[in-house]
Every structure is written in C-alpha cells, then in structure tokens.
Amino acid sequence: MSSLETAKKIAARKAVDNHVSNGNIVGVGSGSTIVYAVERLSERVKQENLDVVCVPTSFQARQLILSNKLKLSDLDTHPEIDVTIDGADEVDSNLNLIKGGGGCLLQEKIVASCSKSMVVIADYTKNSQCLGEQYKKGIPIEVSPLGYVPIKNKIEKKYGGSVSLRMAVKKAGPVITDNGNFILDWVDYKSTFDWPNVNLDIIQIPGVVETGLFIGIASKAYFGMSDGSVKEQITS
Ligand SMILES: O=C(CO)[C@H](O)[C@H](O)COP(=O)(O)O
C-alpha cells in the first residue's frame, strides 16, 4: 500500500474508533478515504455487536454501506444524525473545507448539516493554511444545467479566475450529479478571499444549487501523516 493510501486508512480508522458508538446514526461520506472508514465500521459492528444505522451522502456511499452489510437508512427516516464522517479535498486551519472532487457536494452538505458533528478524514496532502494553497482542481459548484453559462460568467466577472464545466471521462459530455445537475470547477481564484462571504454570495446566484465550500461545518479533522502518525485538528 502506498504511503498516501496508508495515510487515508489510519485517519479513517481512528475517526471511526473515536467518534462512533453503539446506537449511533452515522452519516457516511464519499470518496476514496471513506472506503477505509466503512470497512472499519463494519469490523467494529461485527466485533462489538454495535447497533449502527448509516445514512449515505451519495450513490457510492449507499453501495459501500450495502456491500459492507451495514444498516442503510435515509434522512426521511433519520433526519437527525449523530456524526458524519467524510473526506475532503482541502482543509484549512479553521476547518473550512473544499469538497466535491467526487461530485457529491450537495448530499454531503445536506447530511453534514443534519449532524451533531462532522468529522473529516484525509491524508496529509489535504492539510493547508488557506483554501486553494494545495488543491488546484478548483472549487466545485453544483448548478442547474439551464444556468451554467450565465453562472460561470457572473463568477468570473465578479471574482476573477476561471470557471469550467466538469466533463465526464468515459462519456462525451458533462458530469451529471446524483441530483441531475452540472458541476462547475472554479480555479485560479485568490486564496485570500473572505470565504464565508464569497460562499454566501455565490449561493445567491439563481441556478446555483450548492457550493463545495464547507464553512464552519466540520468540528474535527484527522490527517494521516507520511510518518504513520495521525494529526488531529479541531476548530479554534
Ligand atoms: O467531497 C468528496 C466527494 O464529493 C470527497 O470526500 C473528496 O473529494 C475527498 O475524496 P478522497 O477521499 O478520494 O480524497
């Protein structure tokens, strides 16, 4: 296993061990790091006979829950979640996040917002001082297909940088989210922006469904480090 995969795995396992207990409703994030968390959750459920119910943040998370034989639920049945564990594309020193590299930002934000706490699991490359310092693929913005060109133009005109429509890899067309929307990726923005205000402003543009900026949502992050240790970060 590469040092990056080991880092993801140790962060994920520690978060599950520290934050999940019997009777919990658990929000299950998306991406590659969450796979290790679900594996650990499944181990603990078997070993400790835990009664845990899982609410997915994506089609991928749903499949992971089912293939690991965990109890699957949804927000209709469980609108209040004890803890959501999820990955991130970048985490700043205030635990503000960029998420949505995997295109699941809307469900991820809804599930996190229904949770008493959101715990981030990531490898050491995601740990930065300010957003945009490490992650260069851009801030994802989920939009209604109808409005993607005017939304792109408005963001570029007001804030600069470049906004592009995310294209599918194995299809001649755009990525379509689990909710039937498009994703815009905004690159070359200023990393010194006042993110809480920029986020609120972008969300006001008609046709913007959600942004991948998670401001003031996460309460703790676990970073797997290259030396095999796990760094814990909380909000100041
Ligand atoms: O936000 C996400 C998906 O929408 C993921 O959590 C994020 O992209 C991190 O993924 P990975 O664990 O593969 O690095």
Interface confidence, given as ipTM, is 0.98
Q: Residue 144 and residue 151: Cα distance in Å, rounded?
A: 9
Active site (annotated) includes residue 210: no
pLDDT at 191: 81
Domain 3-129+215-234 has CATH 3.40.50.1360: yes
> Is ligand 1 within 6 A of the CB of residue 178?
no
Q: Which atom of ligand 1 is nearest to the CA of 121?
A: 12
Region 139-211: CATH code? 3.30.70.260
pLDDT at 235: 81
Report domain extents, the chain: 3-129+215-234, 139-211
> Is ligand 1 within 6 A of the CB of residue 105?
yes
**CA 86 / ligand 1 centre spacing (Å):** 8
Of 13, 33, 178, 185, best ligand 1 pocket probe by most atoms within 8 Å of the beta carbon: 33
Per-residue pLDDT 10s for the chain (236 aa) are 899 999 999 999 999 999 999 999 999 999 999 999 999 999 999 999 999 999 999 999 999 999 999 999 999 999 999 999 999 999 999 999 999 999 999 999 999 999 999 999 999 999 999 998 888 899 999 999 999 999 999 999 999 999 999 999 999 999 999 999 999 999 998 888 899 999 999 999 999 999 999 999 999 999 999 999 999 999 86
CA dihedral (127, 154, 107, 109) in degrees, to 10, reads 50
Catalytic residue among 48, 90, 108, 210: 108
Q: Residue 37 and residue 87: Cα distance in Å, rounded?
A: 10
> Is ligand 1 within 6 A of the CB of residue 126?
no
Q: Which atom of ligand 1 is nearest to the CA of 86?
A: 6
pLDDT at 183: 98
Counting Cα atoms < 13 Å in the Cβ hemisphere of 37 gives 33
